[in-house]
Amino acid sequence: MEVFDANYCFTIVDIGSYGCEGDTNIFNQSTFGKQLYNTLNLPSSTNLLKNTDGPALTYVLIGDEVFGIHQRLFRPHSSRDLHYSKRIFNYKLCRARRNVAYAFGILCGKFEIFYECIAVEPNFVITIVQAAVVLHNYIRRRDGFEFEDTLNDDNMLAIEKLHLEV
């Protein structure tokens, strides 16, 4: 299990589960999963723009259906017959969740060892992943971050048109 920040840096990593265990079981047994519902201290609400009196925004986590309900965890609505506003929410949440795939893509692009099976003892794989995470974060901070927002008015108009057709 992992948590990324807006710059694709790992902030929480829980390494050591096998993929065949299933996401729900992995999450429920992970240190992070246990702490989320008990003791995990997420940052308090803050104003994103310095020196303004705008509303404070709450830090949240973005997950999928395997996560339970939590006040700081956003997950998609699970129904086929959703109201327009809930479909828009699911769409935007899905776009935000793509960042996880981007972060892993950046990590794998830097450390091509992750494109193949790593033929070493499981405990050594954990050490390799931990080292890669630390180096990944260091490189991200050293090299900076460039972002191009692909959400524009044309995309939103297409969503509104889809709503009108339904």
Q: Rounded to two decimals, what is the model's pTM?
A: 0.69
Q: Which residue has tokens 């776009």?
A: 95
State residue 139's pLDDT score: 92
- Which range has highest mean pLDDT (39-43, 63-67, 128-132, 141-145)? 128-132
Predicted confidence (pLDDT) per residue in 110-154, tens digit: 898 988 888 999 899 999 999 999 999 999 999 876 655 555 555
* Residue burial 91-126, b: 16+ Cβ < 10 Å; e: rest: eebeeeeeebeebeebbeeebeeeeeeeeeeeeebe
The sign one gets for the Cα dihedral 147, 151, 152, 154 is: positive
Token readout for 43 is 């940052």
